[in-house]
Amino acid sequence: MASLHAGVAPFGIATTTVNPGFFRTELFTEQSTTFAVPSIADYDGRRAWQFEYRRSQKGQQAGDPAKLAQALLTIACQEPPPRRFIAGADAVSTADQVVAALKAQIEAFRVLSSSLAFDEGKK
């Protein structure tokens, strides 16, 4: 979405990337989800865990889709709208974890990463 934003911003078009958590919709119903066939046996354990997780969460998602719709209308009316909207307490928690991990990776390799510029005096 960052490249889309850069491409359309000169035309006065704003974009917002929405990162939603889980909302109580029909997403986890069998009618709403299709899985590829054939499957790869190496992934059977992970796939089984995901199937079971989705079944257990059906109708239990914390997010209210009506409140999400209202929040999206609210941010769409902002000038400018946010570049990113993290929707739902579960999504905020996940985003916090991702940011913390990214910061840790930056710090762990800051010196090495910062040493990669051309040495202008060398040939």
- pLDDT tens for the chain, 123 residues: list them: 788 989 999 999 999 999 999 999 887 777 777 777 777 889 888 888 888 888 887 888 889 999 999 999 999 999 999 999 999 999 999 999 999 999 999 999 999 999 999 988 776
Q: Which residues of 86-106 are buried (b: 16+ CB within 10 A; e: fewer)?
A: bbbebbeeeeeeeeeeeeeee
Identify the pLDDT of residue 120.
85
d(CA 16, CA 18): 6
Taking the whole predicted model, whether its pTM rises above 0.85 is answered as no
Domain boundaries, the chain: 2-114
d(CA 85, CA 81): 9
Q: If phi over 0 gives left and psi between -120 and 50 gives alpha, with beta otherwise, what is residue 12? A: left
Identify the pLDDT of residue 123.
66
At the top level of CATH, the class of 2-114 is: alpha beta
